[in-house]
Amino acid sequence: MTGLILRRLAQLPIILLVIYTVTLTLAWSIPGNPLENPEGRRPSPEVAEQMLRQYDLDSYPRFYVTYLDRVTGLRYVRDRMGGEIAERRDAAEAAGFDAPEQPVFDFGPSLQYDDWTVNEIIAGSLPVSITLGGVAIVIATIIGVAAGVVGAVKPNSAADFATLVIALVGISLPSFVIGTVLLMVFAVWVPLLPVSEWGSARALVLPSVTLSLPFAAYIARLTRFGMIETLASDYVRTARAKGASELTVLVKHALPNAFLPVLSYLGPATAFAMTGSFVVEKVFNIPGIGQHFVAAVQNKDLFLIMGVVLVFAGLLVVFNLAVDVLYRFVDPRVG
Amino acid sequence: MIRVSVVIALLAALLIALGSGSSVPRADLVVYNGQEPTTLDPQRLSWIPDMRVARVVYEPLVQNDVLDWNATIVPAAAETWTVSEDGLTYTFTIRPDARWTNGEPVTSEHFRYAWRRGMLPDIASDYAAMFRYVRGADAFYEWRASQLAAIERGDSPYADGLELWQATLERFDNTVGLRAPDERTFVVELREPVPYFLDLCAFAVFAPVYPPLVDQYETPDVRTGRLNRRPGWTRPPAIVSNGAFAVTDWKFKRGLRLEQNPHYWNRGSLNVRTIDLPSIGDPSAAVLAFRTGAVDLMVEVAAPYRGEIVRDKLGFRADHASEVERLRARGLDTYAIDASLPDDPRNRAHIIPAFGTYFWNFNCSETLTDGRPNPFSDSRVRRAFALVIDKKSIADQVRRLGEPTADVLIPPGSIGGYAGPEGLPNIGDAATEAERATIVARARALLADAGYPEPGAFPITVELVFNKDSGHDLIAQIIAKNWQEHLGVPVSLAQKELKVYREDLKNHAFVTSRAGWFGDYADPTTFLDIMQTGDGNNDRNFSNEKYDALLTRARTTTDPRERLSVLAEAERMLVEEELPMVPIFHYVSMYMFDPAKITGMSEHPRTKQNLFLIDVLGDGVGADLPRPMKPRETGAMGDEAGGSGG
């Protein structure tokens, strides 16, 4: 187990370097000048040149090296050893201000949003996506398991049929349709919940439900098949024979085993919910990280593209590792 | 299993706690500004929505009275000013009670510092060119840029970047015509008289910044000599500003909260305590937020909604046509008329002329990028193509936003005292088929004259380049059809990504293309300069000695009336003879607000909204009195001819 974790962790920098190189090369080839307001006055050529020079955007190799220096934290270490950071802090203190923060892993400034660093943008939006994705998975699990159990108890009944149909709809309907319908019903026609705000539990309801539905549908199907299989097994028959109540049989004996496939599905599902909520974020105007994927590429905001991709890559590698570890933990037959 | 449920419940509670912040009560005024500000650094401003916020947060020396049809210059941070007789020296006196949000006085040195930033290549201001009217600014910029290049090459006379920075400051003090003889006196020397200089001073890019703060975030790099810019000082908690409102909260992509600047000298004039500027990424969510009352005022409405909203509004106005006529006869302006009509959701939209024009570019280069001779280098060809564009169809059938068709570049009535030319007619103007045929015949004659008597044998396929989105494709289709049908030339449509389109235009790699331009300041040159030989925004590569000479003449003409007539002649050349582009329509601005509730919005075609003028009627805060446009002076420009659309 420890060996596996160490091996995976050692691979991490190599994976990230490959991703860094590929992403940068692709992002660099997007046409256009990222520093130019596409709808406004064009700066004079001298100014445009100075702007590019300022960010090393006039040379791919120089950018590659200086940016790598930045994101890996090497520059921070150098500045720290050289005393530059302390010097700036002292100067700011002398003038009565807080010194601008310098992060260790510096993803640089956003080119599109001049007043923000990429670190700040990610720090502000990643927790939002993680919250939304996490809540959605919790909801999905509750709805999915409940629906699956109901279906399994009376297979081929009306209730079972209904949950299957709903599950099918949940999987096939795109979330922008579900989201818009929920928004119209619960925020416009019956104004119970807010339209577009973020920051309260109420505001979290519609988007997390929307995001949870496809996952809930899949979990329902997994639970149903798992339960049907388990309920037919010998040990369940034994439990019933011993006179255990139906509820005890279902919840205490059958469900834990039927839940195993759901658990293994939850790993990748959580990663996907936290990172793939772009459409839901858009529909509900949620300040998550998904929006930056598209906008950063459209704006050729190199620093933001790199920052978001690297953070995601890092997260996914960690999630995959966690799932692998979890498999071995839950099911001793694996590994 | 119970344990699992408990874990899940705890997890859910934790996540909800994470996601919920303390909910702040709604502001007095909630404005949807179109997009999150990209920056609130005055010297780095470029986008119109950013400037709208910056004007509330920072106060320049002077400002435009946007509720006056002449957009008169009125005092702001400067209390008074004098202009020397030769028009070269402006002396501003900063008001004694001008204060930063931290209570410190605003001094002339702060303006000098901010304007220096505008002149530094390191800051790379989009509007650097506007600072170049100051004596010595041009040479200072060039010198600094060349010194930075020298340091990079390794042949700098300075030991390191810090030494270069010291030399830069000294050079600025000694060579640039900005002086601060005392805390309250700011003297500006220009290299030539600039009749609209005060209007530039009212531009947000010329607003001051607080040097002790900015110094912490901009430090010269020892190695490269460049200023290292770090973001952060334009946001709370760091930000120090001098405008009517202070930014008290700014969460990225969530929005800004503005509160009255406690030290603002003119606080008594403010009629709301707080302003929220929520960021709403999705245009339909923004419209929804307005309809549910979460937003009081929309200063931008996304294109897909505009058509429907305009149709509703026109229907509403038609239902009350006689009442509208009666109110108009009483001299009421658009918003005042709207406020007098019965309450109706359709009456929330307001369409007023904007300071911008949509036009179609011709590449005027001698040869195309592939080396072939360019027929559009001949002005007769350009004129012929211009005559047969049916502008009326485009404005009325494709756009349907109440935009007036344009025969000139500068929106009529937008600049006080300026009387522009007539422009060329087009087939859309023809009342009868016969008239239409006459115009087409004229166009064909021009083509024949230019050496293309057989239109089928036109040497190139006429390509129409446009960026995708915003319905430019529909406009291109109409124009292409017009050209094909009436001139018989081969055409092709080329839709491009915005960035690619911008690059192609810059490199003159197109035959014809869509384009548009918004003016920045109250002078015809804000439109005319972009047609000058070598101008950075001269995508058409238009070069005409006579035209350039007219603009040069205007620069040296001191009599304002004569100067404007020289500029009118230059515009006449553009839109009647040379046609480097064909004006199609003048833009309109669309705002959404309840006219009985919101007051203080400008109807001036300069489309500058000063949000600090707004009062929410009946909220018990501020004067709660309607603030309409001031009555027009008799004989003043800017009559309803601009077409209010409403």
Q: Do the chains contact at A37 and B18, CB–CB below 8 Å? A: no
Task: For chain A, say whether B224 makes contact (Cβ under 8 Å).
Answer: no
User: Strand pairing partners for B592?
Assistant: B298, B349
Q: Do the chains contact at A31 and B282, CB–CB below 8 Å? A: no
Does position B378 have pLDDT exceeding 60, yes or no? yes
Q: Which of B580, B195, B519 is nearest to B570 (CA)?
A: B580
Residue B285, pLDDT score: 79
The DSSP code sequence of A254-284 is IHHHHTHHHHHHHHHHHHHHHH--HHHHHHT
Q: Do the chains contact at B282 and A198, CB–CB below 8 Å? A: no
Does position A335 have pLDDT exceeding 50, yes or no? no
Chain A: nearest CA to B210, how far in angstroms?
A: 12
d(CA A197, CA B278): 9
Q: Which of B11, B16, B23 to substitute to test the interface with A, most A CBs within 10 Å?
A: B16
β-strand B89-94 against B78-83: which pairing, if any?
A: antiparallel
Listed in sequence order, the residues at least 6 apart from B47 whose beta carbon sits closer than 8 Å to its beta carbon are A37, A39, A40, B35, B37, B38
- Across the range A88-114, mean pLDDT stands at 84
pLDDT tens-place string over residues B297-330: 999 888 788 888 999 999 999 999 999 999 999 9
Task: For chain B, say whether A210 makes contact (Cβ under 8 Å).
Answer: no
- Across the range B410-434, mean pLDDT stands at 91
Q: Do the chains contact at B145 and A50, CB–CB below 8 Å? A: yes
Are A144 and A215 in contact, with CB atoms under 8 Å apart? yes
The DSSP code sequence of B123-190 is T--TTHHHHTTBTTHHHHHHHHHHHHHHHHHT--SSSSHHHHHHHHHHHHHHHSSEEEEETTEEEEEB
Residue A285, pLDDT score: 77
Are A35 and A51 in contact, with CB atoms under 8 Å apart? yes
| Averaged pLDDT score across all residues of chain B | 90
Q: Do the chains contact at A43 and B44, CB–CB below 8 Å? A: no
B96 φ/ψ angles, rounded to the nearest 5 degrees: -65, -25
pLDDT tens-place string over residues B579-594: 999 999 999 999 999 9
Exposure of A214 in the CB half-sphere (CA atoms within 13 A): 19
Q: Do the chains contact at B125 and A124, CB–CB below 8 Å? A: no
pLDDT tens-place string over residues B180-208: 999 999 999 999 989 899 999 999 999 99
Task: For chain A, say whether B153 makes contact (Cβ under 8 Å).
Answer: no
Chain A: nearest CA to B640, how far in angstroms?
A: 28
Q: Which of B581, B591, B606, B587 is nearest to B399 (CA)?
A: B587
Token pair of B570, please? 């230059």
Does position B109 have pLDDT exceeding 90, yes or no? yes
Listed in sequence order, the residues at least 6 apart from B429 whose beta carbon sits closer than 8 Å to its beta carbon are B392, B435, B439
Residue A48, pLDDT score: 80
Does position A139 have pLDDT exceeding 80, yes or no? yes
By the 10 Å C-beta count (0-12 exposed, 13-18 middle, 19+ buried), A158 is classed as exposed
Look-up: residue for tokens 């990504």? B497
pLDDT tens-place string over residues B509-542: 999 999 999 998 889 999 999 999 988 889 999 9
pLDDT tens-place string over residues A196-210: 666 677 778 888 988
Which of A1-10, B63-72, B488-497, B586-595 has the weakest average pLDDT?
Answer: A1-10
Residue A196, pLDDT score: 60
Domains and CATH numbers, chain A: 124-293+313-330 (1.10.3720.10)
Q: What percent of chain B has pLDDT over 70?
A: 94
Task: For chain A, say whether B217 makes contact (Cβ under 8 Å).
Answer: yes
Q: Which of residues 428-457 of B touch A (CB under 8 A)?
A: none
pLDDT tens-place string over residues A153-183: 887 888 888 888 888 887 888 888 888 888 7
Chain A: nearest CA to B499, how far in angstroms?
A: 5
pLDDT tens-place string over residues B2-57: 444 554 555 545 444 444 444 568 899 999 998 889 999 999 998 889 999 999 99
Q: What percent of chain A has pLDDT over 90?
A: 17
Q: Do the chains contact at B536 and A42, CB–CB below 8 Å? A: yes
Q: Do the chains contact at A44 and B282, CB–CB below 8 Å? A: no
Residue B644, pLDDT score: 33
β-strand B185-189 against B178-182: which pairing, if any?
A: antiparallel
